[in-house]
A and B are shown apart, each in its own frame.
Chain A
């Protein structure tokens, strides 16, 4: 039985708690500074809870923690947990300063601890299939990639949580674009340069709502990033990757994988010349417990199993998340040195609060 503490009970924290609590090999304790969530959980479930992180580390005999707090708090908490010798799962993005990410990666590796960051798209069947196809070389030389993510998060000029504050680690770049960047990193490694970055606000006063950038690779391959979390036309977050190579073209989203091959390849005998489509129904591996998508359960199961099996190679180690943090830093640096056409203020001005209107 792995004794595990879930730290931070916001939306993602509660969801992770639910999944890991349903896992047959874990015994879970929770920790959150917000009294009403902790008290409610203690009253209605069998879980043991703490309101203070240091208390949790000191008093609870743990094997591992899941850090699901606002991004700004990750580095400090992860460091404390690693120093205590605990295996750590941290929500994405890993650290806001990539130097912290590198230091923590080193620390985890020195101590031989299992580390993982919550980039769950790497556990989506269609994106895993895309990885298999890329690695097989079936596409020939890949010349261009388009990585997109759209969704309806910030749709009006109001609302203020840590997610809408850049300094807290919120914003479209950290919240949405990080996933697309992490996938491109998974397929092709870190870019050697970044160009043409646009980080604009649409509705948010304090952070970016749209991210456009070009990642450049030594081979000459380029990857366009097109991300917008103020897009109401999407029912929920939609992430898609398209790639073009000398032997074909490939597209994947969470439901399906479409592959066009100019010529069939020996490495992928199940794919024929021309168009091939594989759906989530055959790409998805069964999980023991389902909440909001197999990928969330699969990633937590990978973390728990890695601890049990004493292997440190999860699909999203700190090292890989640090690479994503570095790419994010390159994007920010490019934005800062590029000639800017950024909007100084959101396109839609905040409405005034009147006595009789509550907007």
Chain B
């Protein structure tokens, strides 16, 4: 795993500071070519892992990378699934079964759809989950996806419900079918680590908010630091700058001194910001971690 991962929030109008800024970014990246320009800049600055949602527009990026293999040598995707808004809005509009029906394959994959229908009938969540994972992974076919994430909205929903077996289902399927490492994004890192260990997932890759001011570190700042220090976990820090509340230099310096931190995930809209983050990481957190 690289010590610096490039995230995609800025491309899709997600900004935890300001709706105005989010909208401006949405306009900036309306055309996929603008996203590709920034990804190219990241690649040239040595940031070669793209941690991205399974948003429809990511499939265009996938097509582009597939079409230019020489240009993107060593470029990796870390898919984060599912793209929750897609499902969220569909459930509002169609109800839960209706939404499920909508997302199950119906274009000639009759057998798979039937399997899905039967899965519901038998309450076979495992069968259903693996179909949905496969649907989300389609766009990455032929590309390098060594780590696959389950998104925080789903992780934290399952975590609160106590549905820990789902983490194991995800873990096993991602390993068996994609030869990849399963990873989890959460807003409740210490609690998630307990849950993962309880179903036999050891030393997991967990991406969570980790920043000097404790913004969205649920369970408590001290508990996070204690967990990183005392437990077996491969941590990825996101929201390191706390949505702009922290100065980049002090933010990176602080986070780089934490034990068990393997990587930092960040978003940027310009080459200048990518370069300055790269330089800070080289300065404070230079050793690439082995997965």
Q: How far is the CB of A239 from chain B (nearest CB, A)?
A: 10
CA distance A19 to B188 in the complex (A): 12
* B166 proximity list for chain A (CB < 8 A): 44
B interface bracket (residues with beta carbon within 8 Å of A): 35 or more
Cβ of B125 and Cβ of A40 under 8 Å apart? Answer: yes
* B187 proximity list for chain A (CB < 8 A): 290-291
Determine whether B70 belongs to the interface, using a CB cutoff of 8 Å to chain A: no
Cβ of A290 and Cβ of B19 under 8 Å apart? Answer: no
In-complex Cβ contact of A281 among B13, B106, B160, B242 (8 A): B242
Q: How far is the CB of B86 from chain A (nearest CB, A)?
A: 11
Cβ of A22 and Cβ of B159 under 8 Å apart? Answer: yes
Cβ of B91 and Cβ of A11 under 8 Å apart? Answer: yes
Determine whether B17 belongs to the interface, using a CB cutoff of 8 Å to chain A: yes
Cβ of B245 and Cβ of A279 under 8 Å apart? Answer: yes
Known: A152-B89, A235-B12, A358-B106. A256 touches B156 (CB 8 A): no
CA distance A39 to B124 in the complex (A): 10
Cβ of B17 and Cβ of A280 under 8 Å apart? Answer: yes
Cβ of B19 and Cβ of A14 under 8 Å apart? Answer: no
Determine whether A309 belongs to the interface, using a CB cutoff of 8 Å to chain B: no
Which stretch of A77-85, A115-123, A153-161, A259-267 is in the interface? A153-161
Cβ of A45 and Cβ of B243 under 8 Å apart? Answer: no
Main SS of the interface on chain B? Answer: helix
Which stretch of B35-43, B94-102, B173-181, B265-273 is in the interface? B94-102
Determine whether A247 belongs to the interface, using a CB cutoff of 8 Å to chain B: no
CA distance A305 to B157 in the complex (A): 22
CA distance A53 to B213 in the complex (A): 45
* B143 proximity list for chain A (CB < 8 A): none
Within 8 A of B (CB), among A1-54: 10-11, 14-15, 17-19, 21-22, 36-37, 39-41, 43-47
In-complex Cβ contact of A11 among B26, B92, B106 (8 A): B92
CA distance A268 to B2 in the complex (A): 47
CA distance A17 to B161 in the complex (A): 7
Q: Mark A250-292, 1 if CB is under 8 A from B, else 0.
A: 0001111000000000000000000000011110101111111
Q: How far is the CB of B87 from chain A (nearest CB, A)?
A: 9
A binding-site residues for B, Cβ under 8 Å: 10-11, 14-15, 17-19, 21-22, 36-37, 39-41, 43-47, 152-155, 159, 161, 163-164, 235-236, 238, 240, 253-256, 279-282, 284, 286-292, 294, 358
B binding-site residues for A, Cβ under 8 Å: 12-19, 22, 26, 85, 88-89, 91-98, 106, 120, 123, 125, 153, 156-163, 165-166, 187-188, 191, 213-216, 218-220, 242-245
